[in-house]
Amino acid sequence: MVSSTMEQYLLEPDSVFQWIWATQVPSNIKAFVWRAMLGRLQTRDNLLRRQILRDVDDAKCAFCRLEVETCSHLLFTCSESMAIWYECFAWLGVSIAQVADPRIHLLQFPVIGISKSQKLAETAIWMATVWSIWCVRNRVIFSGGGAR
DSSP states of the chain: ---HHHHHHHH-TTHHHHHHHHS-S-HHHHHHHHHHHTT-S--HHHHHHTTSS--GGGGB-TTTSSSB--HHIIIIISHHHHHHHHHHHHHHT------S-HHHHHHHGGGG--SHHHHHHHHHHHHHHHHHHHHHHHHHHHH-----
Per rule CB under 5 A, is residue 75 in the interface with Zn ion? no
Q: Which of 64, 104, 111, 147 binds Zn ion (CB under 5 A)?
A: 64
Per rule CB under 5 A, is residue 61 in the interface with Zn ion? yes
Q: Which of 19, 63, 85, 134 binds Zn ion (CB under 5 A)?
A: 63
Tell me which stretch binds Zn ion (CB under 5 A): 25-33, 35-43, 71-79, 128-136.
Answer: 71-79
CB of 63 to Zn ion, least distance (A): 4
Per rule CB under 5 A, is residue 76 in the interface with Zn ion? no
Pattern 87-126, binding to Zn ion, x per CB under 5 A?
A: ----------------------------------------
